[in-house]
Structure 1
Amino acid sequence: MNFSQREGLKKPRTEIQLHDMDLKLRNGIWNAISLIYFSEINPNHSNHLPNYERLYTFFIEFYKDFLIKPIEELNLYWKNNLENFKSFYSTLSWNEVYDLVEFFLDNFPDRHLNETFTIECNRILTREVSGYRIIKNKVSSIITDIEIEAVTTSLENRFHPVREHINQAFLLFSNRVNPDYRNSIKESISSIESLSKLILKNEKTTLTDALTELSKKMTIHPAFKIALEKMYGYTSDANGIRHALLDESNLRAEDARYFLVICSAFVNYISEKI
């Protein structure tokens, strides 16, 4: 918070940017792209784009798979290409800016720069009160650091089936164009079921069975165990999440986010215990 905000002379932004993007946020993301990905350009050395292998490779992919234009239209003179790219950026809608962010992370051939870009973008998204953060190269509407940590950790779970369920739940939830909250919730719940089966090496086991076995081997607070069993019982109830709540018309982003985060946290907790 700066001086003007502390003194009440200028109000800080408090409204979360979820379905729009103001100029400060748009400019912040542009500056991150420019400073991180375009910093290697040295006009005194060369303005010929092919002399910068990583950038040239990226822009070939950009024309081929993002713009879907003939790659021969790519301007090989960097100054002109930059002007074209900046003009293109200014025409993007808020969601297309995030599409571009993901495209950089998926296609720029330098993992270190991509990690730096992720950190800088998340800093800007936080500063400008965006409702989105970058997790595993995807822009998602998970808005707290605690939620981000829970999901990120579960996406690295050592059990492949569990990891795949969480990953699919995350992808279905974070699709900004066509989110599938119903199936995201189902995948989140399936991650817990999968973990339970792996723990007891029994395809027919339930979470309650798994918790009972775990409590014989390690300390699990009884109240916490009951809370987990109740949550799982609710999600498994024939009249619960699997049927009545999974009516598409009843579901919102907060429902899918809740199950993604709570199931991720649960998976992380149990995985640490075994």
Structure 2
Amino acid sequence: MANDSDDPYFDRKQLTFEQAEGIEPLPTQLALHEVSPHLRAALWEVVRDSLLNSTITGINMRVVSKPWLEVLRVMHVERHHRLTEFSELHSFHQKELRRIFEVGNSHAIYGLLQWLLRFPPPPISARIINNTLLRCRSSYRVLGDGRTIIPLASLEEVATLDRAFADLAATEFHGARAHLRKAAECLTEGATADSIRESIHAVESVARILGGKTSLAGALQTLKSKHGLHPGLEQGFKSIYGFTSDEKGIRHPLLDDGTAKVDEADAMLMIGACASFVSYLINKTKP
């Protein structure tokens, strides 16, 4: 019976059709202009609770009070440009705001949040909003000024990862693509050490296939001699590889106790660097 290594389609058999064809999910931290159902619900909970704390009970009805009352009055005219009479009913405004989080696109949701953060004084807490974005692995964060929402990544970084998945479409690279996909999934889940490990494995897999060696160092040496891999790039990646060997748990998943000193920023840097290096290696060695 043939070994798994003798079957050129072994890795493809482990993947779904979408995965094998390169239709890969981005980690949510790189998914610009997207708002997950979890994030929608969590952000709405923050706004809903703040609005609820700014209401008073009248005769058979609940009405909005300060600070939200002034916020909504200004929003009615300056943001929504409405000519209708302003309502103070809590139920009306709760329904209006909830709809934005239920069906609004990312621009509507983040635009509203930033507008609220910039209202003097803001009716919602920048710290709570930022913690919610962080907890839900959003692709956006609140800047230190507490008034501005910014993307974690650039469009160029997103394009780099997309390009790497496309470059890994060939049959022999399905194992590497599986590692890169797993790195993206781990980043979404907040498993930063695992994400870094999988990013490195993707490069290892490609380098070994192209260099014909069992070790990354040997593969890089072969690529340098046969394809003109720049010594600086070789040493640079060896240095990154050394970093992942130094931090506890990164290179040895069975021994990992979750205490590796790496965070989301480290994992995002590594997946981007490894995606770029994968594309570079593949295109550098093309005939």
TM-score (norm 2): 0.44
Per chain length, whose mean CA-contact separation is higher, i.e. which structure has more relative contact order (CA < 8 Å, sep 6+)?
A: 2
TM-score (norm 1): 0.46
